[in-house]
């Protein structure tokens, strides 16, 4: 099954609702991946967000999993473009179960929530966001550093599950699925959705994993 889109820095699932204000509440779970060592510095981020798919706005929160200067690095963050990310000063480890939710509270007020179900912490932030709220994403990313897209870390596989949009099953379709291509090679590939169309794997490399049960 061919992907619906391709990117140099994103892979996962993205929904484009086109109508302004149609994405008001996004949530999902993922399991923090274990990054493999590499000869050069490599980077990866898992996140959920609203906007950014076909527009220049974006509100998002997620986890970082890098291999830098011979060491692995894991942390949590939130971000509203064009401002840089803000780190969340709580513990993140491989195989942690994360839950994230971004909710419109009214007018331009939004709440960002990120919880680590394994370590038992919850981060909440109420902030202003003025984006069009037309797209929604569950993404594994090769983040940017100093204005350039980084080389993707080998994260093996990551599971996104119980995805929700506007508090409902998003009914993910294969056409919502996007691969990441770097230096002419496919480096990150999502599975098809599971039977409920609310969960999926993303795997490092060009081979498409089987969908979760």
* Model pLDDT for residues 79-105, shown as the tens digit of each residue: 999 999 999 999 999 999 999 999 999
Q: Which domain holds residue 33?
A: 5-204
The span from the CA of 85 to the CA of 144, in Å, is 11
Whether 113 is covered by a domain: the verdict is yes
Q: Round to the nearest angstrom and report the end-to-end CA distance of the chain.
A: 18
Note the pTM of the prediction, 2 decimals.
Answer: 0.96
CATH number of the domain bearing residue 104: 2.60.120.700
What total number of domains does the chain contain? 1
The bridge status of strand 71-80 relative to strand 185-190 is unpaired
Please write the tens of the pLDDT for every residue from 108-166. 999 999 999 999 999 999 999 999 999 999 999 999 998 899 999 999 999 999 999 99
- The answer to whether residue 212 sits within a structural domain is no
Strand locations in the chain, DSSP E? 5-7, 10-16, 25-31, 45-50, 59-68, 71-80, 86-88, 97-106, 109-116, 121-128, 135-141, 144-145, 148-149, 157-165, 177-182, 185-190, 200-204
């Amino acid at each position: 099954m061919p992907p619906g889109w391709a990117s140099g820095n994103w892979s996962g699932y993205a929904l484009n609702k086109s109508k302004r204000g149609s994405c008001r509440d996004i949530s999902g779970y993922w399991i923090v991946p274990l990054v493999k060592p590499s000869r050069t510095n490599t980077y990866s981020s898992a996140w959920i967000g609203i906007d950014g798919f076909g527009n220049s706005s974006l509100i998002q929160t997620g986890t970082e999993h890098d291999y830098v200067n011979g060491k692995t690095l894991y942390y949590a963050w939130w971000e509203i473009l064009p401002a840089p990310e803000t780190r969340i000063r709580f513990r993140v480890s491989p195989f942690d179960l994360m839950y994230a939710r971004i909710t419109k509270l009214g007018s331009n007020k939004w709440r960002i929530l990120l919880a680590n179900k394994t370590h038992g912490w919850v981060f909440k932030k109420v902030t202003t966001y003025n984006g069009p709220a037309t797209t929604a994403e569950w993404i594994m990313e090769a983040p940017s550093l100093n204005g350039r897209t980084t080389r993707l870390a080998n994260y093996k596989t990551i599971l996104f599950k119980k995805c929700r949009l506007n508090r409902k099953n998003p009914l993910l379709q294969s056409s919502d699925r996007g691969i990441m291509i770097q230096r002419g090679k496919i480096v990150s590939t999502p599975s098809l959705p599971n039977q409920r169309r609310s969960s999926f794997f993303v795997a490092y490399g060009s081979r498409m994993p089987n969908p979760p049960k």
